[in-house]
């Protein structure tokens, strides 16, 4: 083989080798590009999952926050139901207080007594008997007739209805009493207001007793003045008996003036409170 042929062969082999390397390099570049695309797709998917995860976490947190009030209301309702069951059973119970540092405050006196509602069945029986004996027909009579002779435990829902009806009766009684004790004044606008007004009933009775006494005396003295125009009512009350008649005392004449006093009472309007 000549030197030229040898060179041609070497050149040909080099070209073939270069072509093969070029092809191989192209394959590697294509693989690298494909791997890069896959990596980019994975990164994009990861970011999407991360954003989706954050969104779901935010939505979950928002849902939990929105569920808190409902959960609190449900717990409160359950506590109230339990308290009502204890009330109906005549057991001691707790009442939540918004004005105390402690969460619950044991009711004192009659409200905390185990027997506070022990007479509830007796009250129901008395109400049923009262309205049964009442003439005519009324909504109350129909309602209480359901419990006239109940020989089995009454459901809690019915006990609450009974308690509500008893409260209505008590409310009417309180209103009637308040109208008599505070004539001309507006009635309280709530059940609690009625109760608070009755707390002041005892001192109010003292005021009314004084007013009645003043009104009767005013009427009697005014009638006396009709006959004796110059009579000084204040002098009669303050001064003692006339000279020489010191033995005379008002108590000696109570019996003799009682009939007249009753007539005076009939004439007193008793629609105002005199201080």
187-217 confidence digits (pLDDT tens): 998 988 988 888 888 888 888 888 888 888 8
The tokens describing 98, both together, are 């918004």
* In a shared domain, residues 191 and 235: no
| pTM for the structure as a whole | 0.45
Q: Which one, of 74, 153, 71, lies nearest residue 120 by Cα?
A: 153
Residue 132 makes CB contacts below 8 A (sequence gap 6+) with 141, 144, 145, 148
In a domain, 92, yes or no: no
Token code pair at residue 147:
């419990």
Q: Please count the structural domains in the chain.
A: 3
Distance of CA 242 to the CA centre of its chain: 66
Q: Are 67 and 56 in contact (CB under 8 A)?
A: no
How sure is the predictor about 175, in pLDDT bands with cuts at 50, 70 and 90?
very high
Residue 92 has pLDDT above 50, yes or no: no
Domain residue limits at 170 = 119-199
Q: Classify residue 127: in a domain, yes or no.
A: yes
Mean pLDDT for 19-36 is 75
Residues 209 and 227 in one domain: yes
CA distances from 63 to 70, 73, 202 (A): 11, 16, 55
- Integer Cα distance of 209 and 205 in angstroms: 6
Specify if 105 maps to a domain.
no
Task: Find, among 183, 261, 273, the residue nearest to 217 by Cα.
Answer: 261
What percentage of the chain exceeds 70 in pLDDT? 78
Reported as a single tens digit per residue, the pLDDT across 215-235 is 888 888 888 888 888 888 888
Q: What is the mean pLDDT of residues 160-166?
A: 85
Q: Is residue 274 part of a domain?
A: no
Among residues 43, 71, 87, the one where a domain terminates is 87
Per the rule left: phi > 0, alpha: psi between -120 and 50, beta: everything else, 261 is alpha
Tell me whether residue 188 is in a domain: yes
Instruction: Tell me, yes or no, whether 112 lies in a domain.
Output: no
In the chain, % of residues over pLDDT 90: 1
Question: DSSP 3-state assignment of 1?
Answer: coil
Positive or negative, the CA dihedral 96, 98, 103, 105 is negative
Between 128 and 112, the more confident residue is 128
User: Within a domain: residue 250?
Assistant: yes
Q: Which of these three, 199, 215, 236, is where a domain ends?
A: 199
Q: Is 104 helix (H, G, I), strand (E, B) or coil?
A: strand
Backbone φ and ψ of 104, nearest 5°: -130, 145
Is residue 51 domain-shared with residue 65, that is, in the same domain? yes
What average pLDDT is seen over the chain? 75
241/215 same-domain check: yes
Q: Does residue 151 have a pLDDT over 60?
A: yes
- What pLDDT band is residue 100 in, cutting at 50, 70 and 90? very low
Say if residues 112 and 83 touch (Cβ distance below 8 Å). no
Query: Both 4 and 81 in a single domain?
Result: yes
């Amino acid at each position: 083989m000549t030197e030229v042929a040898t060179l041609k062969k070497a050149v040909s082999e080099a070209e073939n080798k270069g072509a093969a390397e070029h092809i191989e390099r192209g394959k590697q570049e294509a693989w690298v590009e494909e791997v890069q695309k896959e990596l980019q797709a994975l990164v994009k998917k990861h970011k999407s999952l991360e954003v989706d995860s954050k969104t779901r976490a935010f939505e979950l947190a928002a849902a939990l926050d929105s569920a808190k009030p409902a959960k609190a209301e449900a717990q409160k309702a359950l506590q109230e139901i339990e308290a009502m069951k204890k009330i109906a059973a005549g057991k001691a119970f707790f009442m939540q207080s918004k004005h105390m540092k402690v969460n619950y405050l044991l009711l004192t006196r009659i409200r905390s007594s185990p027997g506070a509602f022990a007479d509830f069945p007796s009250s129901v029986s008395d109400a049923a008997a009262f309205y049964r004996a009442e003439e005519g027909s009324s909504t109350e009579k129909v309602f209480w007739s359901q419990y006239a002779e109940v020989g089995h435990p009454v459901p809690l829902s019915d006990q609450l209805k009974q308690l509500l009806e008893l409260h209505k009766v008590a409310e009417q009684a309180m209103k009637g009493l308040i109208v008599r004790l505070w004539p001309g004044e507006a009635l309280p606008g709530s059940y609690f207001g009625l109760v608070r007004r009755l707390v002041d009933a005892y001192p109010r009775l003292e005021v009314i007793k004084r007013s009645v006494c003043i009104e009767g005396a005013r009427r009697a003295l005014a009638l006396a003045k009709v006959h004796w125009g110059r009579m000084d009512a204040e002098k009669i009350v303050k001064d003692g008996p006339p000279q020489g008649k010191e033995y005379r005392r008002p108590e000696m004449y109570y019996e003799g003036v009682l009939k007249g006093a009753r007539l005076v009472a009939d004439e007193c309007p008793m629609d105002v409170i005199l201080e």
